[in-house]
Structure 1
Amino acid sequence: MRLLHTSDWHVGRTFHGADLLADQDAVLSHLAELVERLSVDVVLVAGDVYDRAVPSAEAVRVATAALRRLRQAGAELVITPGNHDSAARLGAFADFAEAGGLHLRTTIDSIDRPVLLEDEHGPVALYGIPYLEPDPARLALGVRDARGHTGVLTEAMRRVREDLSARSPGTRSVVLAHAFVTGGVGSESERTIAVGGIEQVPGSVFDGVDYVALGHLHGPQRLADHLRYSGSPLAYSFSEAVRKSVWIVDLDERGLAAVDRVELPVPRQLATLRGRLEELLEDPAHDELRECYLSVALTDQVRPVDAMRRLRARFPYAVHLDWEPEGGAVGALRYSQAVRGRTDLEIVETFLADCRGTEPGDREREWLVAALEAAGRANADHREAVR
């Protein structure tokens, strides 16, 4: 049996405000092409199908179209919810969907009820563990003393192993889970699932099965031969420079036979630029970045006015902007240090210099004095009125 392991689609997510639905539709369409070209039998989606618990109508349309294409390409689908999904919404009509080859495992009481499929070597049991929020999950699982993610996932896997032990000898097993497993490396785009500062679970929790399809972390990672993150199909932060991919997993009569990484197309590349605004706008060497999502750090000593608008005139997909003046900005001080022993005028002048990288001019200083005097008179009138 051949499986395609993917996760963290986050359909409906934006990238620094840029709409990604067209990019998501394109890369998810490619998954269906892989299913057909590589003769994939089952697609595993290990959580975070959507970016929000209540996705937009357009996000639902893109996700539904992706699932339909995967099914039409010939694959069965097994899906579990992640921490971004609403398990109840994702699992709506699950019983009806199963008849059409879409297997939704979204509830705690279905953890030990696998999707059972057959190949020439016999049965394969695919177990879906939905994202488990520790406090409500430990009550629902009947393990009130369980601590954090490790405690509830330990109980979930106990149920999986118990069910598996009751099945016919030679039954191969696959688990889908959405969690932060020790040894994994996070990125900037994941929402923390920490509870009391503890979010990671040891990989040993998942011992005893042939393959574990993990979701939550957005970079493709191998923690062990049988324990892997597929990562998200698109980059959702500039920290995700690695090429996105899926795992193609082969099971033979003994269990896990092979796992291969297949890279996905990149609808739009990521790039970073650093320098003075005028240089970035004029240097022909940067022409190749016009079609990239761009993060820019400006090093001008004075913060340029309307910098993002001017950048987008040349780089339409500039989405992130920082100002990092050469030599550093005014040193950061605690508030009490910044104001101690200073007049109101000195505090305001320092604030403007910190924001703009240059001291106020004489004319600006006159305006500040007039504004402070007017504010002082207004405060005095207010105090008198209160008395």
Structure 2
Amino acid sequence: MTFSKNIKFNFLNTDEQERYQKHLTLKDIGYEGQLELKNCSVLCIGAGGLGSSVLLYLAATGIGKIGIVDNDYVEKSNLQRQIIHETNTIGNLKIESAQERIKKLNPNSEVLTYEERINPENALKIIRKFDIICDCSDNFGTRYLINDACLILKKPLVFGSVQGFEGQVSVFNLYKNSPNLRDLLPESPVKNAIPSCSEYGVLGISTGLIGIFQVNEIIKIILKKGEILDGKILVFDLLNMNMKKLHLKSAQVNKRIKDLSQFADFYNDDECSEKNSEIKRIDANDFNSLYKTKPNKILLIDVRENEEFSTSAIEGSISIPLSHLQQESDLKFIQKESLIKEIFTICKSGKRSEKASKILSKFKIQSRSIVGGIEKVKKILSN
């Protein structure tokens, strides 16, 4: 596996020589190895549980260019495992929170951010810019999409997944005959057959550990050192402290991917799509008109965290954080109110409120997410 031939740097600056001293004295890295790390680019898809430890250790290791793809916002319930984020970044974009933390840790690393979900329209464009791809996503539609894009572009893919106390790590598509995700899972699991972290739960340190092992594989790939998990899957059970290594064979049929339209059904996942027909939206201007003319006919649910709500809120709104929205008592209250009032959801900019409206629709509660969020609504109301 070869990386970009356009080497940008042929020396380490004074800060880097001091910062990476323990690497420079390590015979398997040394000065030349550290330059290889500096001249490599890694894309991390997802800035959540896995992405948090991956991004921190990529920066600490001295990777020269780090890309982050995510369009989600930091929530309080994330902080149990997403250690790159902090309490004071709740409500901020994860890519912004992560970028700020990385620059504090290592200002020598260049950070590129993409405020979007990886999808069939942008996957090839984004992935081709980087040498190594690290999958820190949380759903199968996205995982297959990343895998297939890497096959098309001939990019090595470092895979990680976590559920509960268990986790897996592997390296796909490292060489021409290397296995890929389709060799591990030829058919996508039935939608909703495997519970998400929010439904099943996850041990915070399990995402940290698997993320660290993903970075370990990235380092070995760049340095061409050690035994890489190519054709192997490392499986952890942290509850019983068991670890095993499984072997994976490559099937040529799983490499016959020429473009992303071949397997569109694999990517047909709500989490892998920017479009969701279940979500109804309303422009801030239109909401403002209803708010002024029919205030008694509106239930405005603010799904930001309590701290955000206490700092700034629309008069008459109620606070039900997104992480609490599926609690039985809250759902019963909203269902009752929906019989006599029109339900609206609001957050900082509109992303979390869309999630909230999607959740409510699953419980047959009609609502509309306010585009632009509280910042836009308050601006209109103040005029």
What band does the TM-score fall into relative to the shorter chain? under 0.3
Higher fraction of helix: 2
